[in-house]
Structure 1
Amino acid sequence: MSRKTQAQRVREILENEMASGKLPPGSRVDEDSVATRLEVSRTPVREAVLQMVQDGLLEKRPRQGAFVPNLGLREMVQMFEFTAELSGICGKYAARRMTPDNLRELRAIHKKMESLLGKGDIHAYADMNTDFHVYIMRLARNNYMFDTTHNYGLRLLGYFRTHLFYPGKAEQDYHDHCTLMGAFERQDGDLAYELLRQHATIHGDVLAEYLLRSEPSPVPAARPEPEPVRISKPAPSRVSKPAA
């Protein structure tokens, strides 16, 4: 296996761990630990981490190493706006450019998601949901668009996974996909664009919980040591001598 292929494999594994929540926001990516765990030398790990830093998927901190970015509220809202538009554009071109074989493959993924939802397996449904959207990005047949949409979308996948575990959200997600499949069946690019853009709507309650989960655990404030109680000794009583 060539070094380049190893670096690509390492990057793919790290991206999957970010998407699944195994590497949540704020996590440190230790190159030695990753190399040991994946049974590769440190060189391809270093290359993969460097690529991810350049693409904004990881951030490098002086003398600390690489970390999964911890997004703030303002940054997340802006990223949602941008990613929603990109997803819509991918859907627009995918609807126009997918072949009958592509449509059959997308139907197969959609059918598997229906089965998983019926079984109540939301974890597997969330994984398949990622596959569904990534395949749509690829069907746009534009490498620049795919790379940009995928990189930004990856940084928000933790939110989308959290969203699916809220009561009724996975069912709503599947309903949205059913409507979207109708647009693909008719090759209606404009409708696919609008549906995918709306699909990335931010839900405030989920976003708040996701941001709170991403924060470091609060450290209990140290209680001050109680001051020792000092008991003052009573002054010796002075007995007046009787007068002579």
Structure 2
Amino acid sequence: MLDDRQTRTEKLAGEIADAILEGTLEPGSRLDEHMLAGRYGTSRTPVREALRQLATTGLIELRPRRGAIVAKVTSEQLEMLFIAMGELEATCARLSAMSMTPIERRRLGAHYDQMGEMVAQDDVPAYTAANTALHAMFYAGAHNPVLSEMTAGLRRRLAPFRRAQFRAPGRLARSHAEHGAVVRAVLAGDAASAHAAMLHHVSLVEDAFEQLAGAPAGTAPEAARMKAG
């Protein structure tokens, strides 16, 4: 039951995040729990939990006596977050190449192959979930709990922006190809190449989001449009 509730909350948080990134919910607007519950056909409890979850991403702010407000994320903030994300993920990939066990490497390779089938079927929801799991394998494979926790926390903060990239045409196939470079380097134990490939991948994730954000007004948040400019 707890897993079902958590899944519903995550799904709702994703839907609200998408509305913010698409510009339907504009920066500065108040997110009323009653309104959101009616809009998404649910009760206030999962709405409240979803808003708390989104507050950790920086997409919304929880203010005393005002409730939840859609935050205005600046281009500078996004750039700093993506730079930090790239450095942390690249370090995880480098350490994974050095530290992953044979079992972890086999699981990584198998998971990557399964993602190829999702690309062929253009299954965005499945690929999005598998993408998160793939990166988690690199975090765990680094065998450094402190680094893993830091990286996973920053990823949660950037999750709505990273998920939005998959709406860009052809992004699924490009993402899979970028992952392939990282996976091959890790499986070969090539730490330097794994680091470089992951750093390159995260920079292209940012580029994909910028291109999507550069779409006509109303399809992306104002902060993202500013960054794309």
TM (normalized to structure 1)? 0.67
Which residue of 1 is the match for residue 130 of structure 2?
Answer: 128
Return the alpha-carbon distance in structure 2 between the equivalents of residues 70 and 105 of structure 1.
Answer: 40
Report if aligned partners of 1:86, 1:145 keep a CA contact under 8 Å in 2. yes
Structure 2 counterpart of 1:84 = 86
Displacement of 1:206 after TM fit?
2.2
In structure 2, the partner of 1:159 is: 161
**TM-aligned CA deviation for residue 30 of structure 1:** 4.7
Query: Partners of 2:191 and 2:128 in 1: how far apart?
Result: 25
- Secondary structure, aligned partner of 2:168: coil
In structure 2, relative to structure 1, the CA distance for the partners of 1:38 and 1:62 (3 Å cut) is closer
Structure 1 pair 11/89, CA: closer, same or farther in 2 (3 Å)? farther
Q: Deviations over 1:100-136 (max 9, x none)?
A: 1111111121111101111111221122111111221
Q: Secondary structure at the match of 2:143?
A: coil
- Identify the match of residue 206 of structure 1 among 204, 212, 229: 212
Q: Which structure is higher in RCO with an 8 Å CA cutoff and minimum separation 6?
A: 2
SS, match of residue 195 in structure 2: helix
Larger radius of gyration: 1
Cross-structure match for 1:230: none
Q: Secondary structure at the match of 2:62?
A: strand
Encode CA deviations 1:128-168: one digit per residue, 9 max, x unaligned. 11111122112212222122212222222222222222222
105-114 vs 155-164, which deviates more? Answer: 155-164
Fraction of identical pairs, as percent: 23
- Deviation by residue 1:169-206 (Cα, 9 ceiling, x = unmatched): 21111111111111011111121111111111121322
Q: Deviations over 1:22-80 (max 9, x none)?
A: 4444684859x7xx85979x9xx6xx94x986896863213123457542211101111
Matches within 5 A, 1:188-207: 188-201=190-203, 202-203=206-207, 204-207=210-213
In the comparison of the two structures, how many residue pairs are matched? 204
Query: Quick check: which one's helix share is greater?
Result: 2
Amino acid at match of 1:195: A
Answer whether contact 1:159 1:207 (CA < 8 A) is retained. Answer: no
> Whole-Å Cα distance in 2 between the matches of residues 161 and 54 of structure 1?
16
Q: Structure 2: how far apart are the matches of 1:151 and 1:106?
A: 21
Unaligned residue ranges in structure 1 (runs of 5+): 217-244
Q: Distance in 1 between matches of 2:7 and 2:147?
A: 18
TM-score under structure 2 normalisation?
A: 0.71
Q: Counterparts of 1:57 and 1:150 in 2: how far apart (Å)?
A: 17
Any stretches of 5+ residues in structure 2 without a counterpart? Answer: 21-26, 224-229
